[in-house]
Homo-oligomer: A and B are copies of this chain.
Amino acid sequence: MIDFKQLADQYRDELLERVMPFWMEHSIDHEMGGFFTCLERDGSVYDTDKFIWLQCREVWMLSVLYNKVERRQAWLDAAVQGAEFLKKYGHDGQYNWYFSLQRDGQPLVQPYNIFSYTFAVIAFGQLYLATGNAEYADVAKRTFDIVLQKRQCPKGQWSKAAPGARALKDFALPMILCNVALEIEHLLEPAFLQQTIGICLHEVLDVFYRPELDLIVENVSQEGELVDCHEGRLLNPGHAIEAMWFIMDLGKRLGRPELIEKAAHIALREVEYGWDKQYGGIFYFMDRLGRPLQQLEWDQKLWWVHIETLITMLKGYELTGNPECLTWFEKVHDYTWSHFRDPEHDEWFGYLNRRGEVLLTLKGGKWKGCFHVPRGLFQCWQTLQRLAEQS
């Protein structure tokens, strides 16, 4: 029998005593503002470029902790300085968010990536909740408007698709919007919120989820059909599993238990499909027809895949009572804590090879920052706490 209280404490302690202190100590650029995210195993800075995804995500994470855990001034101060850096340097003046900046804020890579925008939305939306500063709400709303405008052609001028070419749409955007919509519901008109959520749910569950496979695919045709090409065959189990807790949150918020049931079903199917029967852990990429992948990193075990699975399985168990969710939580918990957690230094490794050996010693980089580990620890702690109180 699982001791939910003890587990809740384990997740809380890891978050508050080993993970957030790492970011608070090593990531804040006290000289030029914003955050360093390229941090070695011991927290030393190995590169000073600033990636907008991760700048935004750290502002968001700090604001969430301030809003939901404890009114710690240091968290708020760090979030505000990050947001001020982003306001000043992160976009082109029209809320077109660059992909990356030099340490001093000089733009490096153009605003080609729509997720820089979506993470700006959640950062400023959450910081507005912490501060009540209307300027932050305004940045979030204006940026969200641009995201919605760009939805049909998110890459804009940087798209390499030849005109008239086989056009695909990808799962990532509707999936993230499921989460963004709930994140900024305090800033949206209720009717508009409902409509946006409805579209996202439809895309995730009726378009990218394929009943004939009982799996979510990463790309479909503009007409919503399966395509037999590399992108059209691509599966990313962690991505699908992460989306399922967004759906569960929506199901809870909307009072629609059938959404939660469906999400739990899909998540269980994905984790079984994605689990590496030989070495354990969940594969990064798979091909739905079993064909060779273009992604050379397909067999690696990534931190976020496993942490998102923990969140989903716990929420699935809490909301549906399905014991399979709990069994998978335990299995993935054991793998994750024994492989990703660094016993010597704070924070967790991000990239393991197929065998579960550390592939890169970094704690943060271009894609890993103050986000999946602390968000996952926070989410699991909260869910475990509720389960402990119920039992």
| Chain A residues engaging chain B, CB cutoff 8 angstroms | 38, 40, 46-47, 49, 98-99, 102, 106-110, 112, 157-158, 160-162, 164-166, 228-230, 289, 291-294, 296-297, 299-300, 351, 353-354, 359-362, 365-366
Do A162 and B107 touch (CB < 8 A)? Answer: yes
Contact B360 A293 (CB under 8 A): yes
Instruction: Tell whether A230 pairs with B49 under 8 Å between CB atoms, given A112-B160, A160-B110, A296-B300.
Output: yes
A281 CB → nearest B CB, Å:
15
Contacts of A109 in B (CB 8 A): 160-162, 165
Residues of B within 8 A of A160 (CB): 99, 109-110, 112, 158
Whether A292 contacts B162 in the complex (CB less than 8 A), given A299-B359, A354-B353, comes out as: no
Q: Which of B112, B165, B292 contacts A362 (CB 8 A)?
A: B292
Tell me whether B292 and A40 are in contact (CB under 8 A): yes
Give A282 Cβ to nearest chain B Cβ, in Å.
15
Chain B hits for A294, CB < 8 A = 365-366
A366 surroundings in chain B (CB, below 8 A): 230, 294
- In the assembly, how many copies of this chain are there? 2
Given pairs A112-B160, A292-B362, 6 additional interface contacts (CB within 8 A): A46-B289, A49-B229, A106-B165, A107-B164, A110-B160, A293-B360
Contacts of A158 in B (CB 8 A): 158, 160
State the CA gap A135–B160 with chains docked (Å).
29
Q: How far is the CA of A40 from the CA of B293 in the complex (A)?
A: 11
Known: A49-B229, A230-B47. A102 touches B291 (CB 8 A): no
Q: Which residues of B are found within 8 Å of A360, using beta-carbon distances?
A: 292-293, 296
Given A46-B292, A230-B366, A292-B46, CB of A106 within 8 Å of CB of B359: no
A selection of 17 A-B contacts at a CB cut-off of 8 Å is A38-B292, A40-B292, A47-B230, A49-B229, A98-B162, A99-B160, A102-B165, A102-B166, A106-B165, A108-B161, A108-B162, A109-B161, A158-B158, A292-B361, A294-B365, A294-B366, A353-B354
Task: Give the distance in Å from the alpha carbon of A374 to the alpha carbon of B300 in the complex.
Answer: 31
B107 touches A165 (CB 8 A): yes
Tell me, rounded to whole Å, the shortest Cβ–Cβ distance linking A231 to chain B: 10
Q: Do B161 and A351 touch across chains, with their CB atoms under 8 A apart?
A: no
| A108 surroundings in chain B (CB, below 8 A) | 161-162, 165-166
Closest-by-CB residue of B relative to A228 is B47
Most chain B CB neighbours (cut-off 10 Å) among A46, A102, A354: A46
Q: Are B47 and A164 in contact, CB atoms less than 8 angstroms apart?
A: no
Contact (Cβ within 8 A) B291 A47: yes
